[in-house]
Structure 1
Amino acid sequence: MTAVAAYRRILLKLSGEALMGERSYGIDEAVVARIVKEIGEVTALGVQVGVVIGGGNIFRGMQGAAGGMDRATADYMGMLATVMNAMALADAFARTGIAARVQSALRIDQVVEPYIRARAIRHLEEGRVVIFAAGTGNPFFTTDTAAALRGAEIGAQIVLKATKVDGIYSADPTKNPDAQRFARISFDEAIGRNLQVMDATAFALCRDIKLPINVFSIFKPGALLRVVCGEDEGTLVHS
């Protein structure tokens, strides 16, 4: 059977850690190639894809702050790390024949486009993957919040949060074999349970604008395509 997409436009949130695979830091080219292939399967259905990328595989702002570095300085360094990841991802797309553009919330015009909402939407409408780098461009805000913000701005129908775990569970599934995966959960319950899969600011923003989130495992083969096709994959967080 031919797969049919349930969404016209999505925002995919990828952590920097997702790019490093089993490495302790940096980028695993094989992992990036697999992620790009799976995104390509989604774009082949005519789905418009925006991506927000993290930078934890290169630099973590909180760790820098804990070591005595000024938090704002550390966060700006983290934003630059996301630009590096975005450029690597765009290069991987180009090598597979998929058109992609990087837009940065911090201006680095020599290497990537500045974030301009109308231009981003035009890229999406013309079939290009748009990779949003540098978070919101402001310190003290996570790339999760950036994903919620960019998703709202581009008119995405859903935010897909790619993690190491295939959804939200009643307990830590690595520690409790009896933990149950939620197929669906409300924003209020996710915030009330203080779930750590996404920060509370991102949850609250998506709740207020009624933008659903699906939490799924990027390491589970075919999971992204199943989510986009509306199958029971991961956990849907809804209003």
Structure 2
Amino acid sequence: MQKPIFKRIILKISGEALAGKKGFGIDPDTINSIAHQIMEIRQSGVEVAVVVGGGNIWRGRSSKDMDRATADYMGMLATVINALALQDALEKRDVPTRVQTAIEMRQIAEPYIRRKAIRHLEKGRVVIFAGGTGNPFFSTDTTAALRAAEIDAEVILLAKRVDGVYDSDPEKNPDAKKFSDLEYIDVLNKGLGVMDSTATSLCMDNKIPLIVFGINEEGNIKKVVMGDKIGTYVKGESK
């Protein structure tokens, strides 16, 4: 029987991925597929923490007529909506789940406490981190990098609509070249847009590998956790 190659992971799910083909809001089929895959990898013994984006509901940085800090706080609230939806889908599958928010809202979620999050993971609970870092001007990619460093995750799995990292936008350029392996310094130097520069630097400094893969194909999360070579593997500089 195939065994997972990771013990503790951060799964970063973009808001756009949760929208599925609808492009906006939460697609029930997509979120149920993600919940089912998380259930499968948890059953194989993997400790799963999830960071959710909010771009399917609200993207702060694209709101040019609004104060940036206000827009970003609105985006953090959007991530909480996505987190609660994912929690509901997981609990319908009898997966014990905790949502922790960087901005306190105790009626619906726990405040983020590092030691408590680690304890939940050790007990087999899925922990969903919402509310970003709790600060404007930081993306949920940066949240994923920060939380991965804090909880000693072995890898960040970056689930996107596209199936890896390309040298240009594959949705606009059919001749775009896909990378199988990259170093973080290449991501920064080539401006590949895998993560923002803050998140990329944080991963590079803390030697946290990143696997970018497509979420739309059923079973891809499990394939990555089991070591199948899909998507793009990003790591620190080679010695």
2:148 alignment counterpart? 151
Letter in 2 for 1:48: E
Q: Do 2:167 and 2:192's aligned partners in 1 also have CA atoms closer than 8 Å?
A: no
Task: Give yes or no for the alignment of 1:120 onto 2:117.
Answer: yes
Alignment of structure 1 residues 1-239 onto 2, 5 Å: 2-64=1-63, 66=64, 68-239=65-236
Of 75-84 and 221-230, the range deviating more from structure 2? 221-230
Describe the superposition over 1:108-140 as per-residue Cα deviations: whole angstroms up to 9, x where unpaired.
Answer: 011100000000000000001000000000000
Structure 1 residues 149 and 178: alpha-carbon distance in aligned structure 2, compared to 1, 3 A threshold: same
TM-score if structure 2 supplies the norm length?
Answer: 0.95
- Distance in 2 (alpha carbons) for counterparts of 1:175 and 1:58: 23
Letter in 2 for 1:228: V
Q: Do 1:3 and 1:45's aligned partners in 2 also have CA atoms closer than 8 Å?
A: no
- Distance in 1 (alpha carbons) for counterparts of 2:124 and 2:173: 43
Q: CA RMSD in A?
A: 1.2
Q: Do 1:184 and 1:236's aligned partners in 2 also have CA atoms closer than 8 Å?
A: yes
- Distance in 2 (alpha carbons) for counterparts of 1:167 and 1:101: 29
Of 54-63 and 122-131, the range deviating more from structure 2? 54-63
The alpha-carbon deviation at position 176 of structure 1 amounts to 4.0
- Distance in 2 (alpha carbons) for counterparts of 1:41 and 1:166: 21
- Distance in 1 (alpha carbons) for counterparts of 2:167 and 2:138: 27
Q: Which runs of 5+ in 2 are unaligned?
A: none
Identity over aligned residues, as a percent?
53
Letter in 2 for 1:203: T
- Distance in 2 (alpha carbons) for counterparts of 1:172 and 1:139: 27
Structure 1 residues 115 and 221: alpha-carbon distance in aligned structure 2, compared to 1, 3 A threshold: same
Q: Which runs of 5+ in 1 are unaligned?
A: none
- Distance in 1 (alpha carbons) for counterparts of 2:193 and 2:154: 23
- Distance in 2 (alpha carbons) for counterparts of 1:20 and 1:171: 23
- Distance in 2 (alpha carbons) for counterparts of 1:75 and 1:157: 29
Q: Do 2:145 and 2:199's aligned partners in 1 also have CA atoms closer than 8 Å?
A: yes
- Distance in 2 (alpha carbons) for counterparts of 1:216 and 1:154: 22
- What's the secondary structure of 2:119's corresponding residue? helix
Q: How many pairs are equivalent?
A: 236
TM-score if structure 1 supplies the norm length?
Answer: 0.95
Describe the superposition over 1:157-188 as per-residue Cα deviations: whole angstroms up to 9, x where unpaired.
Answer: 00011111111123333344443322110000
Of 162-171 and 86-95, the range deviating more from structure 2? 162-171
Letter in 2 for 1:112: A
The alpha-carbon deviation at position 17 of structure 1 amounts to 1.4
Q: Do 1:147 and 1:159's aligned partners in 2 also have CA atoms closer than 8 Å?
A: yes
Letter in 2 for 1:102: V
Of 189-198 and 148-157, the range deviating more from structure 2? 189-198
